Amino acid sequence: MPQRRIQPPRLCVLLITCFDTRTMANITLLHRWLGQTARIAVKRERPFVIAITGAVGKSTTRQACAAILEADGKGADMRVSQKNYNNELGVPLTVLDMASPGRSILAWLHLLIRSLSVRVGLVRTCPKIFVMEMGADHPGDIAYLTGLVPPDVAIITAVTPEATDVAPVHLENYSSIDALAEEKAALVKAVNKNGTVILNADDKRVFSMRHLTNAHVLTFGEADGSVVRIVGKRILTNTEEHGNMPVSLCVTFETYAHRETLTIPGVFGSPVAYALGAAIALGAAMDVHGSVDNELPNYFKPMRGRTRIIPGIKQTTLFDDTYNSSPAAVLSALRDLASVETKPGQRKIACLGEMRELGEDSKKLHRMVGAEAGRLGLDFLAVSGIFAHAMAEGALANGLSEGQIRVFDDTPEAGRFLQDYIHPGDIVLAKASQGTLMTTGVRMERVIKELMAEPLRAEELLVRQELAWTRK
């Protein structure tokens, strides 16, 4: 049976009623209409599509890929997906170059008019190059999104990063890590034989995806044989009165027997190193001149709430990784904190909150990250949220004393405590899932705001400072 076309009058009715919670089917039809419009536009205008997926690191990789293309002069006609526009609504919005209309009827009308104009060919909407994320909150998401926007290049960041076998985010909607990996692999399968697939060689599930495609395959990571191999990474510090203060990330790559070192100011962490590796592999796939790699630091734009270094009060340093959280990401951040070379008297402090969407393993996984904080020998652990006591128990059983652990009812309380507790030279990591203000143990950017040296720059530097978020 042929698919029934959604007529404009019908869409207008749906638009008026879509804010009624009883009409979720109508909202789905609106999303489908936008998806169909995106498919029509992409098929007609034929942009070059670089699609990125993975359980962690998508957004940072997106920024790094955009940076290397901008450095090569390809940024003038390139569109990069914004915010978390990586789902059945966000991908079409990226194609249509529109912001989310939220609950504004006027904004929905504007979007509808533009989509109609694109459908009939009155408006050209695609640039020459798309750099976009594709998320997979539920099974089948990637197949649907690649059906709208078929990729010329697929980049898989990681399913279980840094050689761990730890559950990432979204696992609540999947039966196993292997099931999640299978979903991510749909992006690889969507690339035709003339395209390119870029894989993380350090993630066994991602690396095995090379067998699923006839496209050209490039790899990045620390593993021997990676096309773009990470041979060194460390957090650089400035020696100041109160100790070694982190200022940047230094990463050394080896590509085709050529070695180069990049220094990215204002960031820390392994996710940035892997993102840069993926971007350099993309540059090789798109014939970007090798010298452009050295320009990456000038174009790479650190993202709010993702492995950023922010000056703190009392001459402290803040590691702001507050955008979201998962067990694998917390382990990575804790290890990055522990790796900083400090002087006597400096303390390494972790302020951790709830990791959401972990299903029945939530308590066990919270205990596991607490245990890692203990094994790493951090100086102090502040925890909040529903599973705060599980994190505390893990840390207590693995080396931290009761005096080195503090449990708080909610995130703001932890921030107020740390204001008094920290002293010059301390390095403080903050990380938790996002959520509403009514949920304890989330939105750790509130701790960073309490501790940052320039709180008037919160809107510029911190995640979720928009009015829509501050009211949640």
Which residue ranges in the chain fall short of pLDDT 50? 1-6, 19-22
How many structural domains does the chain have? 3
Q: Where does a domain end: 285, 303, 321? A: 303
**Do residues 296 and 385 both lie within one domain?**
no
Based on the fold, state whether residues 122 and 181 are members of the same structural domain.
Answer: no
- Same domain for 174 and 195, yes or no, is yes
User: 207 with 58, same domain?
Assistant: yes
CATH of the domain at 451: 3.90.190.20
Residue 325, burial from CB neighbour count under 10 angstroms (0-12, 13-18, 19+): buried
Q: What is the pLDDT of residue 237?
A: 98
Strand duo 78-80 + 48-53: pairing: unpaired
Q: 329 and 270, same structural domain?
A: no
At which of 247, 275, 303 does a domain end? 303
Q: Which H/E stretch holds residue 79?
A: strand 78-80
**Same domain, residue pair 340 and 394:** yes
Q: Give yes or no: residues 277 and 359 share one domain.
A: no
Within 8 A by CB and 6+ apart from 399, the residues are: 374, 375, 377
Which distant-in-sequence residues (6+ apart) come within 8 Å of 79 by Cβ?
94, 97, 126, 127, 129, 130, 131, 132
Residue 132's H or E segment, with its range, is strand 129-133
Residues 86 and 194 placed together within one structural domain of the fold: no
In this structure, are residues 237 and 224 in contact, taking their beta carbons and an 8 Å threshold?
no
Would you state the pLDDT for residue 328?
84
- Residue range 339-375, pLDDT digits in tens: 999 999 999 999 999 998 887 889 999 999 999 999 9
Give residue 164's domain range: 47-74+128-303
C-alpha distances (whole Å) from 224 to each of 230, 255, 470 are 9, 12, 46
Rounded CA separation 101/413 (Å): 34
Tokens read off for 136: 């997979």
Domain end among 91, 126, 161:
126
CATH number at residue 256: 3.40.1190.10
**pLDDT per residue over 288-340, tens digit each?**
876 677 888 999 989 999 999 999 999 999 999 999 998 888 999 999 999 99
Distance separating alpha carbons of residues 267 and 59, to the nearest angstrom: 14
Task: Say whether both 220 and 345 belong to one domain.
Answer: no
- Does 235 lie in the same domain as 159? yes
Same structural domain, 153 and 291: yes
Query: Do 91 and 119 share a structural domain?
Result: yes
Q: How far apart are CA 389 and CA 201, in angstroms?
A: 36
